[in-house]
Amino acid sequence: MNERVQFITAEDNSIDLIVSYAIEDSSLGVKALLLHRVPSHEDIFDESERGVRVAMSEDTFEEEDFNFLSSISIFDGNIKIKTPYREYNLDISSVDESEVNDMRKILEKQNFDKRFSIHDA
């Protein structure tokens, strides 16, 4: 089942590259799914600790620190985000096209070293 996204925020500041999805949630009202990368600080990490970290506000599993983005597919108003530990299926059909375009730009920047695959229909 695809979770409905209310809006997408894309951020590129001097340190962070972030894509945030605000997802409808019946109990919380909204929950956040974050794709976060800090390229300027990655040189202090081991090779296995580099990449885009994926975190859902409700996720509580031990491997969360190593839940890196493996692939993202964007198609027909939907997004499939794959990590080693979980798959997220999102409905972005009601999100403004400018937010989707901003998301794509940040994803390209996050993927400067081709650590994940992007499939864009």
What is the distance, to the nearest Å, from the Cα of residue 102 to the centroid of all Cα atoms in its chain?
13
**What is the phi/psi pair of residue 104, to 5°?**
-60, -40
Q: Work out how many domains the chain is built from and give that number.
A: 1
Q: How many CB atoms lie within 10 A of CB 92?
A: 22
pLDDT tens profile 56-66: 876 665 555 67
pLDDT tens profile 11-67: 999 899 999 999 998 887 899 999 999 988 877 888 888 899 999 876 665 555 678
For tokens 């096209």, the residue is 97
Distance between CA atoms of 63 and 79, rounded to whole angstroms? 23
Does pTM surpass 0.85?
A: yes
Domain extent at residue 70: 3-120
For tokens 């994803």, the residue is 107
Dihedral (C-alpha) 45, 49, 54, 59: value to the nearest 10 degrees?
A: -110
How is 24-87 classified by DSSP, letter by letter? EETTTEEEEEEEEE-GGGGGGS-GGG-S-EEEETT---GGGGG-B--EEEEETTEEEEE-SS-E
- pLDDT at site 82: 97
Share of the chain above pLDDT 90, in %: 70
Averaged over 71-75, what is the pLDDT?
Answer: 97
Q: How many CB atoms lie within 10 A of CB 72?
A: 26
Distance between CA atoms of 110 and 68, rounded to whole angstroms? 12
